[in-house]
Amino acid sequence: MDEVHVAAPPRRSLGAWLLIAVPYFWLFLFFLAPFLIVFKISLSQTAIAIPPYVPTFDLAEGWQAFTDSLSEFSLENYVWLTEDALYWKSYVSSVSIAAVSTFLTLLIGYPIAYGMARSPQSWRPTLLMLVILPFWTSFLIRVYAWIGILKNEGLLNQLLLSLGLISEPLVILNTNLAVYIGIVYSYLPFLVLPLYASLERLDGTLLEAAEDLGCPSWKAFWKITVPLSLPGVIAGCFLVFIPAVGEFVIPDLLGGSDTLMIGKTLWVEFFNNRDWPVSSAVAVILLLILVIPIVLFQNQQQKMAEKEG
């Protein structure tokens, strides 16, 4: 096949168009369109009604009613977000908690992925399975399991007290430390898997060559292994960082009342205060913060897919 042939879009039968149309339409309706609605409602005002916001569109009322309702839109909710310190503090602390946890996950995940890649071929399927298995078990259960371990009269404190390492229980549950532990624990497989994939593909002869030339092994690791595993590191870090910013379950169950995370703020705004327009505005801003990492992640995924294909 020559170059021109590849570049030209192929002719498609009706069936092939349908193949594209069905998932496209589904995602458009249930993924993209809802964002437009969120954006619309973020410009609306709170009301004591069902649904609890005005204006609502009713296309049956005609064009005039439609344009009238447009004039009722305002940026009020966004102004409100800048005025109340709770919101921007939540954003800042979400991003910083997610960044710290991502770094800690990398710190713990790298040696695991590295150990897996260096293990004998026959161990690898089992090790891989062991990393994937927790990923299949319920997220909620895994977070819940930590409550029993971390609380004041929990298993960790009991162990440390009986060993005589501490004289009074450590307060870990309901602090940011517990949130870090929860995020690292829950997202570890997401980081280890892509990292292992790129470490496993690494050409061992490069390291042998470096060794033959008298390079100490730590230096070979730093100069060869680390740079070549970078795509895996980046993919893994995105997979941890992006969802962690909007995490709700972990800060809610493990964090304290002073643990501000935007996912929790949004939840409270929606379910407790029933303020749909403000929670929509919170979601829009969160999306704006995440749009850059998401686009970067996607480009990287595409690049990796092309390399494989």
Partner 1 sequence: MTRGPTWFNITSLVVGFSFLYLPIVLLVIYSFNESRLVTVWGGFSTKWYVSLLQNDQLLDAAWVTLRVAFTSATIATVLGTLAALVLVRSGRFIGRSLFSGMIFAPLVMPEVILGLSLLLLFVAMDTARGFWTVMLAHTTFAMCYVAVVVQSRLVGFDKSVEEAAEDLGCPPVKTFFLVTLPIILPGVIAGWMLAFTLSLDDLVIASFTTGPGATTLPMKIYSQVRLGVTPEINAVCTILVALVTLGVIAASIATKRQQVQRERDERAAFGDG
Q: Which of residues 234-273 bind partner 1 (CB under 8 A)?
A: 238-239, 242-243, 245-249, 253, 263, 266-267, 270-271
Residue 229 near residue 266 (C-beta atoms within 8 A): no
**Under rule CB under 8 A, which residues in 1-20 are in contact with partner 1?**
9-10, 12-13, 15-16, 19-20
CB-based contacts of 233, cutoff 8 Å, min separation 6 = 106, 110, 195, 198
Q: Residue 223 Cβ, how far from partner 1 at the closest point, in Å?
A: 15
Q: Smaller CB distance to partner 1: residue 212 or 308? A: 308
Q: Smaller CB distance to partner 1: residue 82 or 158? A: 158
Residues 52-91: x/- map of binding to partner 1 (CB under 8 A)? -----x----------------------------------
Q: Report DSSP letters for 116-168, one per residue.
A: HHHS-TTTHHHHHHHHHHHHHS-HHHHHHHHHHHHSTTSHHHHHHHHTTS-SS
Q: Residue 62 Cβ, how far from partner 1 at the closest point, in Å?
A: 18
Q: Determine the interface stretch with partner 1 among 67-75, 76-84, 141-149, 162-170 (rule: CB under 8 A).
A: 141-149
Residue 178 near residue 172 (C-beta atoms within 8 A): yes
Q: In the chain, count H helices and then E strands.
A: 16, 2
- The answer to whether 48 contacts partner 1 (rule: CB under 8 A) is no
Q: Which of 41, 34, 33, 35 is nearest to 72 (CA)?
A: 41
DSSP-derived pairing of the beta strands 53-54 and 45-46: antiparallel
Among 30, 168, 213, 288, binds partner 1 (CB under 8 A): 30
Q: Which of 56, 116, 39, 5 is nearest to 286 (CA)?
A: 39
- The answer to whether 177 contacts partner 1 (rule: CB under 8 A) is no
Classified as helix, coil or strand, 53 is: strand
Q: Residue 164 Cβ, how far from partner 1 at the closest point, in Å?
A: 19
Q: Smaller CB distance to partner 1: residue 115 or 216? A: 115
Classified as helix, coil or strand, 45 is: strand
